[in-house]
Amino acid sequence: MTRDDVQAWLDRYVAAWASYDPAAIGDLFTDDATYRFHPSDPGFRGREAIVGAWLDPTGDASSRDEPGTWQARYEPFTVDGDRAVAIGSSRYFTDASRTTTRDVWDNCYLLEFGPDGRCRSFTEWYVPRPADRL
């Protein structure tokens, strides 16, 4: 993977999150991918389980992020063959007017890619910023 490949993957990741389109989410991951929201999680295994976890994070769709209420940008920190680490932040607003920030998370993704450029291992570290650092 090149830096450009990883950046393109990260941009598709954000677009898939915004659209909640199952095909777009599934297309990011290999059939047998593992996805961990937290480094100590056993993780969701397989594309279908990952798509399910994105679409219905708590068993139904009610906890999806509302369109326009968040913005996120991630970029590669290092790219090393089929492995990469990406960093960025995710900003959540109180509503779609995007005038008031509710939370900001600093994110770090540990990524491993398959030969077709799909992700086969995803592990996230997210760190909440204190209220005075939003």
Partner 1 sequence: MTRDDVQRWLDAYLDAWRTYDRAAIGDLFAADATYAFQPYREPLRGRQAIVESWLESPDAPGSWTASFEPHAVEDERAAAVGTVRYLEDGRQRTIYFNVWLLRFDADGRCVDFVEYWREPPEDLRTTM
- The reply on whether position 97 binds partner 1 by CB under 8 A is no
Q: Indicate the residue among 56 and 106 with the shorter CB distance to partner 1.
A: 106
Binding to partner 1 by CB under 8 A, coded x per residue (else -) over 30-69, reads --------xxx-----------------------------
What backbone phi and psi angles, to 5 degrees, belong to 78?
-140, 145
Which segment (12-20, 24-32, 56-64, 71-79) binds partner 1 by CB under 8 A? 71-79
CB of 5 to partner 1, least distance (A): 13
Q: Indicate the residue among 14 and 87 with the shorter CB distance to partner 1.
A: 87
Q: Is the Cβ–Cβ distance between 99 and 93 less than 8 Å?
A: yes
- Name beta bridge partners: 73: 89
> Pick from 79, 90, 119, 122: which binds partner 1 (CB under 8 A)?
79
CA angle 23, 28, 32 (to 5 degrees): 100
- The reply on whether position 91 binds partner 1 by CB under 8 A is no
The bridge status of strand 29-36 relative to strand 44-45 is antiparallel
Q: Is the Cβ–Cβ distance between 119 and 113 less than 8 Å?
A: yes
